[in-house]
Structure 1
């Protein structure tokens, strides 16, 4: 991937950070975007330690203008955009439908779904302008494929990410732009640990029991899947939804 550029949102921690580092190890220039400036700059420092080039862009993916500026900054820094992994998201507390707060539901829609639309809008425009094609990976969830009681907003938005990705895949295939969705299962990330802490859960045994491989996944395992989808090895793969879940969804 040397000479090409990857943009990763939510790159300050967890799967986003692992993905940014994975692209850097393959020689790509990386734009690490995150709302957390300290975390995002730490990711850039780690990439530069590897000998790769990287820039940090602070972005709130709930803000269309900031997303536009993020893509512009990518082109300004490295002259091109070849790969994008739209990873930024929020996870909700467990609430049943009758208890859902409208404002919180609206924020879930904005951060987890509308941001994916807006990111793709500006990313695809940049790819079309360059006329070199490209690859976009949107990060869904096993909740994109199976509902979770007590999580209506998260489940709804992650379901919709798949439909949005597949629509983009159909619309821009003839332009050489591939779009796929990666759906992580139980992955050992700060977001998962924080969500469990809010729910008063401390043990991992339930997840391990329900995952056929008997463990949590790692952020690196998700990152490697996104990396493969963006690589030339996946040149005939578009409009696909790939679960990285240790068999979690197996019937």
Structure 2
């Protein structure tokens, strides 16, 4: 068995650690005695203060779409602490904004949502496996997913698909803890009030954010720490967390998943459905008119 894995004196790498869930996990890991590499495009003032005031927390600018940037994070760990990270957390992600939207369809070469939400965590996992095996270490990977992994969304279909992909990937990694001592897990939060919602005010209305139950980034980070440290969560463990407290959490089985309450309640509300798919219908209406003029 993989067993417990306390993070004290270990090295924790967090992509997307400059804000939101990733920042809270960084805070928690540092408070528990870990050395932390924060990888992000930039730091929020809160994260900047943490880096400046904590000797064992370092920042490395990273575009997770660039695999060389991900590899550089492991090299930074070698250079600074003469070792590779023990824990790898893929927290960076996007929620299909307009510049990377299936419906707006402005991208010309590839979907950024797939690069950031799928390719990045999968590649980080591969790099983690190689680094840990080369140094003969045990280690843990924790990928931040979403309850969208078990549902659907006409408004953000590529985002939903990206989270389904992570669920399948993590389940596929389940045997790795017994085979090679590398535990791969995932956290699937519901609505979390991160800075994302403040920077995209139109999303607040479309996704009825103020009418939905939510869970704090701090509590999500605490669940992630449990997945990382506690041996009762094996490789392949996927934890859903949708509301505060233990009743808002469940471990998702590999098969026959029942709908989460958040999806069930939204489906019953005509107002929430109208809000959600309204922008999609506007796009389709414009495209239908454009086609009719041809």
TM-score, length-normalised on structure 2?
A: 0.73
| Alignment check: 8 A CA contact 1:44 1:55 kept | no
Distance 1:60 1:93, change over 3 A: closer
In structure 2, the gaps of 5 or more residues are 1-6, 249-258, 265-294
State the match for 1:240 in structure 2.
237
Superposed counterparts of 1:107-126, under 5 Å: 107-126=112-131
The SS at the match of 1:32 is strand
Post-superposition offset of 1:106: 1.4
- Report the RMSD for the aligned CA atoms in angstroms: 2.6
Match of 1:201 among 191, 197, 205: 205
CA–CA distance in structure 2, aligned partners of residues 225 and 73 of structure 1: 27
State the Cα deviation string for residues 135-160 of structure 1 (Å, max 9, x = none): 11000001011112211110000110
| Alignment check: 8 A CA contact 2:75 2:84 kept | no
Tell me if 1:67 matches 2:70: yes
Tell me if 1:56 matches 2:59: yes
Tell me if 1:77 matches 2:80: yes
CA–CA distance in structure 2, aligned partners of residues 43 and 241 of structure 1: 27
The SS at the match of 2:183 is strand
Query: Between Structure 1 and Structure 2, how many residues are aligned?
Result: 239
State the match for 1:221 in structure 2.
219
State the Cα deviation string for residues 29-60 of structure 1 (Å, max 9, x = none): 10111011x43x852641564x5611111110
Post-superposition offset of 1:102: 5.1
State the match for 2:14 in structure 1.
8
Post-superposition offset of 1:126: 1.0
Distance 1:240 1:98, change over 3 A: same
Please tell me whether Structure 1 or Structure 2 has the larger radius of gyration of its CA atoms.
2
| Alignment check: 8 A CA contact 2:74 2:84 kept | no
State the match for 2:284 in structure 1.
none
The SS at the match of 1:61 is coil
Which shifted more, 106-115 or 75-84? 75-84
